[in-house]
Amino acid sequence: MDFIILYHYIEQNKEDEKMECKAIDIHVHVGNLNHWKPWVKDWWQKANPRDFAMIREDGSLNRDAFLNHLKSIGVGYAVILAERSPATTCDVTTQEVLEFCQGEKSLIPFCNINPHLTDDPLRDFRNFLLKGVKGLKIHPVHQLFYPNTPRLYPLYALAQEKGVPVMFHTGSSIFPGAKLKYGNPLFIDDIAVDFPELTIIMSHGGRGFWYDRAQFLVRIRPNIHIDISGLPPRKLLEYFPEMERLKEKFLFGTDWPGAMIDKNIQGVSTLPISPAAKEAILKKNALRVLRIKT
Ligand SMILES: [Zn+2]
């Protein structure tokens, strides 16, 4: 009997190992729902009612249910983002994100630093790196500053030195209090030029009226990438007609829970681009950018 149990256990583990990583989601939000503004909750609930079942009555996300979901849809890794934008969307701290990701290698924590909420952004970033964050998210549109502010340059220098990617929200946000001028991708160009070895991710590819600028920048700057989160996959080739040629520069992401991850994987998989481009966008580029060893 014991032998049979052991046999099944080994078979199950083999199954787990076989579980293929089809995609990496580089843009996921978590945090207790009560830390989000009501308008964000409403928007999410309308955008993705199915996955709302993973949120418990006290507002917390059921981590086991979330992990099982990722596994069942072939998502090998998800980048989990902190965001300290209490005036516009939420206050999800880096500590909260670290706790959510703890002990689970498929969950990759990124810190967020809001320069208005700290007297020493560099000290905070150093501390977060020591605690294990793998990237820095900057949110100029919700937190109202220019991303090329000299105040954040020491953080970009440190990220470059450590080989840690920096992700910037670019383009629109529909939430009250957000100011779109700070989302102009052109400001990211300053950072790309001043830190040529820094890995830069432009979230949403300048969503709204800057897609062409964002695409132009990824073409001419080797260190800039676009994450396609918050964009409907069926529109991607309209926004970025050179996606095939620039396939090494696009990263799959969803802005979950604002979209269903499996549905968007399906959307990218059915685009009229080469299988090599799909594999690069869904997985390979993220493995490289996040320095994941397989
Ligand atoms: Zn987001």
In tens, the pLDDT along 44-93 reads 889 999 998 899 989 899 999 999 999 999 999 999 999 999 999 999 99
27 C-alpha vs ligand 1 centroid, how far in Å? 6
Query: Which pair of tokens denotes residue 142?
Result: 């919700």
User: What is d(CA 155, CA 157) in angstroms, rounded to the nearest whole number?
Assistant: 5
**pLDDT confidence band for 20 (50 / 70 / 90):** confident
2 C-alpha vs ligand 1 centroid, how far in Å? 48
- At 147 the three-state DSSP class reads coil
Output the pLDDT for position 16: 52
267 C-alpha vs ligand 1 centroid, how far in Å? 19
Model pLDDT for residues 165-187, shown as the tens digit of each residue:
999 999 999 999 999 999 999 99
For the chain, the average pLDDT equals 93
12 C-alpha vs ligand 1 centroid, how far in Å? 35
Mean pLDDT, range 35-43, rounded to an integer: 89
Output the pLDDT for position 109: 98
Q: Are 88 and 97 in contact (CB under 8 A)?
A: no
129 C-alpha vs ligand 1 centroid, how far in Å? 21
Q: φ, ψ for residue 289 (rounded to 5)? A: -65, -40
Taking CA 13 as the corner, what is the angle to CA 12 and CA 15, rounded to the nearest 5 degrees? 65
11 C-alpha vs ligand 1 centroid, how far in Å? 38
190-201 per-residue burial string, b: 16 or more CB within 10 A, e: under 16: ebbeebeebbbb
232 C-alpha vs ligand 1 centroid, how far in Å? 14
Output the pLDDT for position 6: 52
Ordered by start, the domain boundaries in the chain are 22-289
Mean pLDDT, range 147-152, rounded to an integer: 98
**Who has greater pLDDT, 103 or 18?**
103
Question: Is it the case that residue 99 has pLDDT exceeding 50?
Answer: yes
**Who has greater pLDDT, 13 or 36?**
36
- Among the listed residues 25, 159, 13, the one whose alpha carbon sits nearest the alpha carbon of residue 80: 25
28 C-alpha vs ligand 1 centroid, how far in Å? 7
154 C-alpha vs ligand 1 centroid, how far in Å? 24
10 C-alpha vs ligand 1 centroid, how far in Å? 39
Residue 35: how many CB atoms within 10 A of its CB? 18
254 C-alpha vs ligand 1 centroid, how far in Å? 8
Residue 221: how many CB atoms within 10 A of its CB? 17
Mean pLDDT, range 192-205, rounded to an integer: 98
203 C-alpha vs ligand 1 centroid, how far in Å? 8
Mean pLDDT, range 135-140, rounded to an integer: 98
255 C-alpha vs ligand 1 centroid, how far in Å? 5
182 C-alpha vs ligand 1 centroid, how far in Å? 15
29 C-alpha vs ligand 1 centroid, how far in Å? 7
45-61 per-residue burial string, b: 16 or more CB within 10 A, e: under 16: eeebeebeebbeeeebb
Question: What CATH number belongs to 22-289?
Answer: 3.20.20.140
Model pLDDT for residues 201-213, shown as the tens digit of each residue:
999 999 999 999 9
Mean pLDDT, range 86-113, rounded to an integer: 96
293 C-alpha vs ligand 1 centroid, how far in Å? 25
Output the pLDDT for position 100: 97
Mean pLDDT, range 193-206, rounded to an integer: 98
Mean pLDDT, range 236-247, rounded to an integer: 98
Question: Is it the case that residue 143 has pLDDT exceeding 70?
Answer: yes
Output the pLDDT for position 19: 66
